[in-house]
Amino acid sequence: MSLFALTIAELREKLRTGEVSAREVTQALLNRIQAVDGKLNAYLWLNPDDALAQAERVDAKSDKLLAGIPIAVKDVLNVDGQPCTCASKILKGYTSVYDAQVITRLKQEGAIILGRTNMDEFAMGSSTENSSWGVTRNPWDLERIPGGSSGGSAACVAGDEAIASLGSDTGGSIRQPAAVTGCVGLKPTYGRVSRYGLVAFASSLDQIGPFTKTVADAATMLRVIAGHDDRDSTSVPRPVPQYSIAGGVKGLRLGLPKEYFIPGMDREVEAAVRAAIRQLGSLGAEIVEISLPHTEYAVAVYYLIATAEASANLARFDGVRYGARVRGEDVIDTYGKTRGAGFGPEVKRRIILGTYALSAGYYDAYYLRAQKVRTLIRQDFEKAFQKCDAIVTPTTAEPAFKIGEKSADPLKMYLCDIFTISCNLAGNCGISVPCGFAGKLPVGLQILGKAFDEETILRVAQAYEQSTDWHKQRPVL
Amino acid sequence: MPDVDINHVAHLARIELTDAEKVKFSAQLKDMLAYVDQLSRVDVTGVEPTAHAIPLTNVLRKDEIRPSIATERILKNAPESARDLFIVPKIVE
């Protein structure tokens, strides 16, 4: 099998024993990117010489967890000396001056930072169509979206253009693209991974997590990036477990929330997910009916809280310290012109909604009320987790849609995240794993866990993955 | 449903909008406000708001000198700079 098609675990074995070198692996990936990225447009930036130089420097025979493994990163994470545009015109030409904490950790474990992946501008979107640098295409059907906002990070793993990648998940931006491209996507618990060096979108929701080809690889990536960092006060000083994924599901109680099977759901998606849940039952898990009654309000809560936080976070893009500046008559006029020219339509739309929700006279009715309903959503999960160890749901209600299909209607696009958003609002962890196909398009099973209980969802995911071969299916490019 | 003064909101957001954007965004903002209005159905009496999923407290570190990013590297990203400073349009007359 070609080197680019292997997993972290498989490649580490070959690298450790000296069967292949880090340079050969990196070159194999660069060749693969050369061959297929013209079709996918997963990468925004690549520096082959730099990647090969990193490969030369690494001791691939060491015991480091990612020694010699080429990994792609979403264009929202700072890597010293690389551009970081968040797929926005307003950051065109920006060069990072430091490493994000997750990048420091990848480098410490010997990973090769391969390149930067496409995304919805400032991580706002569910299709990667909101990128200022063109859409990314789904490796399973080039007419379709790869999900979003981390669409490039998903497509590059699904298309074998990286062994693994990092993305960020504010309302589903890792799990949803993982589901529709047929890879594994993990959103760790809020506070588990340092966001130092992640360009902030909605600070009470953002988390960084991996895209991988297998559950075992996701556990490896989490071991590398998890942990306290004194430069992110929201990162929690809890020890990082080994994330042992063996053990199976026998004796585990898996909650099936009735609110996650909605009218209008794609029938093949529903059938695949229900079959996966039956499979988990036959592996020894006890399936219990649960209710998350405030689920229907999650999208509304999310779009008030996330946009309000974004309106504050994105105030820093004002053409003073970085990015493109459009000069106006005075400083206020300069801000307005710079931001009017630099931000794309979805970013403007969300900043406007968020600004409105926070503005005098409307704060109580919108933002504060949303925060209260957020409490009710959290409490739904607390109650549910008294009855079960993890929750199983579809990751999305439908498979990848066609490019352009939803871009005219923002609300329709927002509803794509209906099953993934609550997890961010509650601050829990979640993972999406491949569980079948709707026609030729991948379907994802979402497993949600308690805060800081990644081990259980990884264990469930591993047990499921090992009893199927969905994760071995690859698109033909 | 409250009226939306798009000029006021755009000014607060410091985003200059074109006339076409004003028309489009005010209509879309109204649609979104109509959608989120469903939250008014929820009984939130006595419910505390959640700002963060985990309790946050101030984290203080020792007040000591540490190495920082070199000024010239940071200023390289600035649209305009001089003498180790960011240059902005005149703010006060």
All structural domains of chain A with their residue ranges: 1-477
Consecutive H or E run containing A217: helix A215-225
Order of strands, sheet of A441-449, starting from the edge strand that comes earlier in the sequence: A43-46, A112-117, A70-74, A164-169, A207-212, A184-187, A429-438, A441-449, A390-394, A253-257, A286-290
CA pair distance A310, A231, nearest whole angstrom:
21
- The angle at the Cα of A212, spanning A206 to A217, to the nearest 5 degrees, equals 105
Residues of A in contact with B11 (CB under 8 A): 336
Task: Identify whether the C-beta of residue A80 lies closer than 8 Å to the C-beta of residue A96.
Answer: yes
Task: Identify whether the C-beta of residue A106 lies closer than 8 Å to the C-beta of residue A84.
Answer: no
Mean pLDDT confidence for A450-469: 98
Please give the pLDDT value at position B1: 56
Please give the pLDDT value at position A412: 83
Q: How far is B22 from chain A (nearest CA, A)?
A: 10
Phi, psi for residue A253 in degrees, rounded to 5:
-100, 120
Do B77 and A331 count as a contact with CB atoms less than 8 A apart? no
Instruction: Please tell me what DSSP assigns to residue A444.
Output: E
* Token pair 């700002």 in the structure block, residue: B51
Cα B91 to chain centroid, rounded: 21
CA pair distance A387, A380, nearest whole angstrom:
11
Mean pLDDT confidence for A91-98: 96
pLDDT band at B3 (very low <50, low <70, confident <90, very high): confident
CA nearest A170: which of A187, A193, A182, A155?
A: A187
Can A203 be counted among the known catalytic residues? no
Do A320 and B51 count as a contact with CB atoms less than 8 A apart? no
- The angle at the Cα of A135, spanning A317 to A312, to the nearest 5 degrees, equals 20
Q: Is the pLDDT of residue A477 over 60?
A: yes
Give the three-class secondary structure for B40. Answer: helix
CA pair distance A379, A375, nearest whole angstrom:
6
Phi, psi for residue A61 in degrees, rounded to 5:
-85, 0
Please give the pLDDT value at position A464: 98
Do A362 and B52 count as a contact with CB atoms less than 8 A apart? no
Mean pLDDT confidence for A26-42: 98
Q: Beta-carbon neighbour count of residue A83 at 10 Å?
A: 17
Query: Tens digit of pLDDT for each residue in A405-432?
Result: 998 888 888 888 999 999 999 999 999 9
CA pair distance A150, A241, nearest whole angstrom:
26
Nearest to B14 among A236, A335, A371 (CB): A335
Task: Identify whether the C-beta of residue A225 lies closer than 8 Å to the C-beta of residue A464.
Answer: no
Nearest to B77 among A322, A351, A359 (CB): A322
Task: Identify whether the C-beta of residue A425 lies closer than 8 Å to the C-beta of residue A302.
Answer: yes
ipTM of the complex: 0.95
pLDDT band at A380 (very low <50, low <70, confident <90, very high): very high
Consecutive H or E run containing B66: none
* A446 exposure class (CB count in 10 Å sphere: 0-12, 13-18, 19+): buried
The residue from A64, A74, A187, A406 that is catalytic is A74
Residues in chain B: 93
Please give the residue of chain B at the shortest CA–CA distance from A311. B13
Do B54 and A191 count as a contact with CB atoms less than 8 A apart? yes
CA distances from A207 to A130, A199, A283, A313, B34 (A): 20, 11, 31, 15, 29
Mean pLDDT confidence for A131-159: 98
Query: Tens digit of pLDDT for each residue in A286-307?
Result: 999 999 999 999 999 999 999 9
Residues of A in contact with B77 (CB under 8 A): 93-95, 97, 321-323
Task: Identify whether the C-beta of residue B9 lies closer than 8 Å to the C-beta of residue A352.
Answer: yes
* Token output for A141: 């059907």
Please give the residue of chain B at the shortest CA–CA distance from A95. B77
Task: Identify whether the C-beta of residue A310 lies closer than 8 Å to the C-beta of residue A392.
Answer: no
Q: Is the pLDDT of residue A97 over 80?
A: yes
Q: Give the residue from B69, B77, B81, B92 with the most A CB atoms within 10 Å of its CB, the best one to mutate.
A: B77
Give the three-class secondary structure for B24. Answer: helix
* Token output for A317: 């893009």
Q: Beta-carbon neighbour count of residue A236 at 10 Å?
A: 18
Residues of B in contact with A373 (CB under 8 A): 39, 42, 44, 47
Please give the pLDDT value at position B57: 81
Give percent of chain A with pLDDT exceeding 90.
Answer: 95
Fold of A1-477: Amidase signature (AS) enzymes (3.90.1300)
Query: Tens digit of pLDDT for each residue in B48-80?
Result: 999 988 888 888 889 999 999 999 999 999 999
Mean pLDDT confidence for A443-453: 98
Task: Identify whether the C-beta of residue A4 lies closer than 8 Å to the C-beta of residue A32.
Answer: yes
CA pair distance A138, A157, nearest whole angstrom:
11
Query: Tens digit of pLDDT for each residue in B11-52?
Result: 999 999 999 999 999 999 999 999 999 999 999 999 999 998
pLDDT band at B2 (very low <50, low <70, confident <90, very high): low
Please give the residue of chain B at the shortest CA–CA distance from A300. B36
Instruction: Please tell me what DSSP assigns to residue A406.
Output: S
CA pair distance A284, A123, nearest whole angstrom:
38
Query: Tens digit of pLDDT for each residue in A427-441?
Result: 999 999 999 999 999
CA nearest A441: which of A393, A395, A391?
A: A395
The residue from A149, A153, A194, A235 that is catalytic is A149
CA pair distance A302, A149, nearest whole angstrom:
15
Q: Is the pLDDT of residue A217 over 90?
A: yes
* Token output for A301: 């809560």
Residues of B in contact with A334 (CB under 8 A): 88-89
Can A149 be counted among the known catalytic residues? yes
Q: Is the pLDDT of residue A328 over 80?
A: yes
- Amino acid A264 reads G
Q: Which residues contact A25 (CB under 8 A, 6 or more apart)?
A: A3, A11, A15, A55, A68, A69, A70, A163
Strand residues in A366-428 grouped as ranges (E): 390-394
Please give the pLDDT value at position A264: 84
Average pLDDT, chain A: 97
Query: What is the four-CA torsion angle of A314, A317, A323, A325, rounded to 10 degrees?
Result: 140
Nearest to A352 among B25, B42, B47 (CB): B25
Report strand pairing: B85-86 vs A253-257. Answer: unpaired
CA pair distance A9, A161, nearest whole angstrom:
17
- CB-facing half-sphere around the CA of A359: CA atoms within 13 A: 16
